[in-house]
């Protein structure tokens, strides 16, 4: 059309257009959407007095991958290099409970993530916080609602579960921690065994707890629900755009605006 590349780039920059980037979104159809959003966000913004608010979830299928050749570290004029092929030694599941008020993390690794492992982790969390009222935010995974879990909760009324709406895991602050540990400890890791992977996870969590700070929730329930209630446009349904955990405040949609920074 006779338009130079620099002209196109300037127009994109002036209008903050980034057509090389894409995002995904998922609209929650939970019939209790509003009640659950207000419940969870209320715990973040106005936590109950003398109680502990915890965000709990599992990061499953973390692979212990060993590269077939040693990683070549970064050097002047050369980026880090690694082989594209690897040996897969197995997987582990990280269970984590993030304390909202402090950012402290209670962690445990298990080979699988069934209701038995989840119940064992709940018991661990209860021991870490003895004689305190615990409000636990978590998603709708079936193991979280297993009858054995419900039976244990019936005997320990000080532990209360709060479920996020379906397809709204971004409401759980522990997802921010999972994104951080993935980026800083796991993505570029080279592990010769599952035990080596578990040790690296534990080492990262120990270091995290020495320097952690709480995440700051940036939007109240009304602001989040207003995004869900936008009128659909010709090209889309109501867009509940779920950005990456920890995206900057002030963006569009619950995922970006309701995240932490």
pLDDT at residue 51 greater than cutoff 70 = yes
**Band (239; pLDDT cuts 50, 70, 90):** very low
- Tell me: pLDDT of 252 over 50: no
Whether pLDDT at 260 is above 50: no
Mean pLDDT of 216-232: 79
CA distance 177 to 101: 14
How far is the first Cα of the chain from the last one, in angstroms, to the nearest whole number? 43
Q: What is the pLDDT of residue 48?
A: 93
- CA distances, 251 to each of 8, 124, 225, 231, 257 (Å): 25, 37, 15, 18, 5
pLDDT for 247? 38
pLDDT of 82 strictly over 90: no
- Residue 237, pLDDT score: 33
Q: What average pLDDT does this structure show over 163-189?
A: 93
For the chain, domains (ranges, CATH) are: 23-70+82-257 (3.30.420.10)
pLDDT (tens digit per residue) in 159-168: 999 999 998 8
CA–CA dist 2, 184 (Å, integer): 45
Q: What is the pLDDT of residue 4?
A: 94
Residues 6+ apart with CB under 8 A from 252: 227, 239, 241
Q: What does the buried/exposed string (b/e) look like for 163-187 if buried means 16 or more CB atoms within 10 Å of the residue's CB?
A: bbbbbbbbbbbbbbbbbebeeebbe
Q: Is the pLDDT of residue 257 over 60?
A: no
Q: What pTM, to 2 d.p., does this model score? A: 0.79
Average pLDDT of the chain is 86
Task: Please give the average per-residue pLDDT across 168-182, as a whole number.
Answer: 93
Sheet strand arrangement including 133-138 = 105-110, 86-99, 51-67, 133-138, 159-163
Find residue 65's DSSP bridge partners. 88
């Amino acid at each position: 059309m006779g338009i130079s590349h620099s002209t196109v780039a300037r127009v994109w920059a002036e209008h903050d257009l980034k057509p090389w980037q894409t995002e995904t979104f998922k609209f929650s159809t939970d019939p209790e959407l509003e009640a659950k959003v207000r419940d969870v966000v209320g715990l973040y913004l106005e936590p109950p007095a003398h109680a502990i608010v915890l965000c709990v979830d599992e990061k499953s299928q973390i692979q212990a991958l060993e590269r077939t050749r040693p990683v070549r570290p970064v050097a002047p004029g050369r980026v880090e290099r690694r082989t594209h092929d690897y040996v897969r030694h197995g997987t582990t599941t990280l269970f984590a409970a993030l304390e909202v008020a402090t950012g402290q993390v209670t962690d445990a690794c298990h080979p699988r993530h069934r209701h038995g492992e989840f119940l064992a982790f709940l018991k661990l969390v209860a021991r870490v916080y003895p004689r305190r009222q615990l409000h636990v935010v978590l998603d709708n995974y079936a193991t979280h609602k297993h009858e054995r879990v419900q039976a244990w909760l019936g005997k320990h009324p000080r532990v209360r579960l709060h479920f996020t709406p379906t397809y709204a895991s971004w409401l759980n602050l522990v997802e921010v921690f999972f994104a951080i540990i993935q980026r800083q400890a796991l993505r570029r890791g080279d592990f010769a065994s599952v035990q080596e992977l578990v040790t690296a996870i534990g080492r990262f969590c120990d270091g995290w707890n020495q320097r952690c700070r709480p995440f700051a929730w940036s939007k109240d329930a009304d602001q989040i629900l207003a995004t869900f209630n936008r009128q659909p446009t010709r090209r889309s349904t109501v867009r509940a755009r779920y950005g990456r955990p920890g995206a900057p405040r002030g963006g569009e949609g619950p995922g970006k605006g309701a995240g932490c920074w």
